[in-house]
Structure 1
Amino acid sequence: MHAPQIDGILETAVYVDDMEAAHGFYSGVLGLERMVAGERLYAYDAGPAQTLLVFHRGHTGEDVETEGGTVPGHDTTGHSHFAFRISGEQVQPWRDYLTENGIDIISEVTWPAGGTSLYFNDPDGNVLELAAAPLWPNFLS
């Protein structure tokens, strides 16, 4: 028996110590619209049917009871990583924009397939990536 189909990743999570600094960065610098603001989590629109969850580190380890059921506790330590997809035409505008906003590009990679990734940090030191295709076999354009 084969696994049923997965349609994609709906949510990506990052854990931060300072929720307001994170909001200033994800909304103010990256331009993501905040959809939910709570004590332990902010949720941002990261593209069609894609959500970036910003969790308050150390405040999410316990289960949360809701009317619909229990949300299991989760947490992480250290710096995490995730990537935003961009078009190849947007690599230089993003380079310029990050520089203009005082965001250091900590690394730039040209992948064997020809795509480009720009790496930088959020205020908590999480490693973010802006990636332009081609990169992975399933990310060609």
Structure 2
Amino acid sequence: MKVTGFSHVTIRVSDLDRSLAFYCDQLHMTLRHRGRTDAYLEWGIAWICLIQKEGAVRAGEDSCGVDHIAFYIAEADFQDVVQHLREQGIPIVRGPVKRGQGWSVNFLDPDGTQLELHTSTLDKRMEVWV
């Protein structure tokens, strides 16, 4: 088996309408398909599936599973995006902070899934760690 790259992430949500508003309005993802309990969003070359699960509970730091999902953002846009997150009252849980050779900010979606915006690449991070 030869894996050739990242495809997508599926995120469980408790309220599809609320999550769609967040991911489309705040993160400017493009809605490509809306089903009864799922939605497919595009952001650059990556895509995300939101799937509504009845009885889903808010994500927590002590549960197993995905720790956070990070997305690349150009450094030139970073400070404006951080300001936008603050103005919209989106909970920032870490940062903004310089990590390696890039800037990061971690924040929560409406169900508590931690998302990160990061301005660097893995190659740049490895320059610092090696």
Q: TM-score, normalised by structure 1?
A: 0.73
Cα drift, residue 138 of structure 1: 7.0
Query: Contact between 2:101 and 2:125, CA under 8 Å: does it hold in 1?
Result: no
Query: Contact between 1:15 and 1:76, CA under 8 Å: does it hold in 2?
Result: no
SS state at 2:123 partner? coil
Aligned partners of 2:7 and 2:125: how far apart in 1?
17
Task: List runs of 5+ in structure 2 lacking aligned partners.
Answer: 61-65
Task: List runs of 5+ in structure 1 lacking aligned partners.
Answer: 60-74
Aligned partners of 2:30 and 2:14: how far apart in 1?
20
Cα drift, residue 28 of structure 1: 1.6
Cα drift, residue 76 of structure 1: 9.9
Two-structure CA RMSD over aligned residues (Å): 2.5
Aligned partners of 1:105 and 1:77: how far apart in 2?
16
Aligned partners of 1:16 and 1:32: how far apart in 2?
16
Task: Tell me which stretches of 4 or more aligned residues in structure 1 moved more than 3 Å.
Answer: 75-80
Task: Count residues with an aligned counterpart.
Answer: 119
Quick one: which amino acid aligns to residue 109 of structure 2? D
Aligned partners of 2:10 and 2:109: how far apart in 1?
13
Aligned partner of 2:98 in structure 1 is: 110
Quick one: which amino acid aligns to residue 13 of structure 1? T
Which structure's CA Rg is the greater one?
1
Aligned partner of 1:56 in structure 2 is: 52
Query: Contact between 1:115 and 1:132, CA under 8 Å: does it hold in 2?
Result: yes
Q: Which has the higher helix share?
A: 2
Q: TM-score, normalised by structure 2?
A: 0.79
Among all aligned residue pairs of Structure 1 and Structure 2, give the percentage whose two residues are the same amino acid: 24
Quick one: which amino acid aligns to residue 104 of structure 1? P
